[in-house]
Amino acid sequence: MAQTIRLIAVGGGSGGHIYPGISVIRHMESSGMITRQEVLWLCSFGDRDREILSACDIPFTAIPSGKLRRYASLKNILDIPRIAAGFAASMGILRKNRPRCLFSKGGYVSVPAVAAARILGIPVVSHESDLDPGLATRINQRFSSILCVPFAESRAYYPKTVRIEVTGNPIGRERKSGIPDVGINENPYILVHGGSLGSASLNTLIWACLERIPETWQVVHIVGTEEKRIPPDRAGYIPLAYAEGSFQELLDHCDMVVSRAGAGTLWEQAAAGKPMILLPLGRKGSRGEQERNAGYFCDHGAARVLFSGEAHHDALIYAILELIADGDVRSGLSACARELVHERGAELIARCISSYIER
């Protein structure tokens, strides 16, 4: 007899839309709220989505998806058939399985599924990781039974008609013991990364700074799988294409982080109490959510931030050398970061979902 699907989750497009959702599912599983066989994840046809879910042993089905753009483009018209196909596929899957709840972790692939769930009368719990909502969440909020947000201040970005639960963000990756064997010695090290997809511009900046970073400090640099350039050779510089399965351990043992300001990773870094230098994507490369995320942490004394107009190698090396030279500054940033976040996000979101599954 086939196992009944009690929860369908949807989200994709980047690790930031998938890892935190998997963390929620794992919490539900370990707490006895649900079994892995009772969960089905709807993702896009992108290789990255399917690779993450396969590696984490989460049952999934890919559905068509089209990108939602905030600007006029012919591609918006061309994507209409993909969005319609995603809606039809979602309707079929939801009708067949009749889950107790749909959990949306966002991304463009989530919108058709959330709309279909509303039509079928299936409760929807959505989660937004950023301080303020993206376009997908702005649409999904209309059809969601509960919308989970990271901060109390996030409430201001939503209509009062939307039911808001302040849950924080889930820690997206599991912790393991020990430092990965990538050549790290006993010296302190800086962890540099540009998010799950990497960042060519951040790579260029850190490479320009390497000669001025004292060799008593190592630099562990996740360059991304798409980076084709050959990294420079320097004692104590450790370039990694990707850190699947070991990112959390690298983070736990590092002494400083230089990164973008994606919401999920930013939350993980703060929960680990790491001094952070953030270089958020500007409005040319995003809707500006990373700048607002980083600004929130900066305003609370939890990070140094170089916004897009300030992000050049002289400013970056100045910030790095300041933190290297002053342990009190690092400790202050670390303490403020820890105070700003918590590690109960997965638990609190799981409770919201479970309240519908158990009805």
Over residues 96-119, the pLDDT tens digits come to: 999 999 999 999 999 999 999 999
Domains identified in the chain, total number: 2
Q: Is pLDDT larger for residue 327 or for residue 179? A: 327
Distance CA(94)–CA(87), nearest Å, equals: 10
178 in any annotated domain: no
CB 9 within 8 A of CB 40: yes
Q: Is the pLDDT of residue 2 over 60?
A: no
Same domain assignment for residues 225 and 348: no
Averaged pLDDT for residues 330-344: 97
Output the pLDDT for position 197: 63
Same domain assignment for residues 106 and 214: no
CB 114 within 8 A of CB 143: yes
Same domain assignment for residues 61 and 200: no
Averaged pLDDT for residues 179-183: 87
Output the pLDDT for position 287: 80
Long-range own/partner contacts, residues 56-60 (CB < 8 A, 24 or more apart): 56/22, 58/22, 58/25
Lowest mean pLDDT among 61-70, 116-125, 139-148, 232-241: 61-70
Same domain assignment for residues 220 and 160: no
Residue 214 sits in a domain whose CATH number is 3.40.50.2000
32 in any annotated domain: yes
CB 291 within 8 A of CB 282: yes
1 in any annotated domain: no
Distance CA(288)–CA(282), nearest Å, equals: 6
Same domain assignment for residues 37 and 140: yes
Averaged pLDDT for residues 179-199: 88
The 10s digit of each residue's pLDDT in 233-271 is: 999 999 999 876 788 899 999 999 999 999 988 999 999
Give the residues across from 192 on adjacent strands. 221, 258
Same domain assignment for residues 11 and 144: yes
Q: Helix 327-340 crosses helix 263-271 at what angle (to 10 degrees)? A: 110
Same domain assignment for residues 118 and 263: no
Output the pLDDT for position 48: 87
CB 172 within 8 A of CB 270: no
Same domain assignment for residues 157 and 216: no
Distance CA(336)–CA(145), nearest Å, equals: 33
181 in any annotated domain: no
The 10s digit of each residue's pLDDT in 5-60 is: 999 999 998 778 899 999 999 999 999 999 999 999 999 998 889 999 998 999 99
Single out the residue of 112, 108, 118 nearest to residue 86, CA to CA.
112
Q: What integer best gives the mean pLDDT of the chain?
A: 92
Distance CA(43)–CA(83), nearest Å, equals: 13
Same domain assignment for residues 107 and 204: no
**Domain of residue 327, residue span:** 189-340
Tokens encoding 62 = 């890919």
Same domain assignment for residues 215 and 76: no
Q: Is pLDDT larger for residue 75 or for residue 317? A: 317
Same domain assignment for residues 66 and 146: yes
Output the pLDDT for position 71: 57
1 confidence band (pLDDT: 50, 70, 90): very low
- Please give the model's pTM, rounded to 2 decimal places: 0.91
299 in any annotated domain: yes
Same domain assignment for residues 134 and 258: no
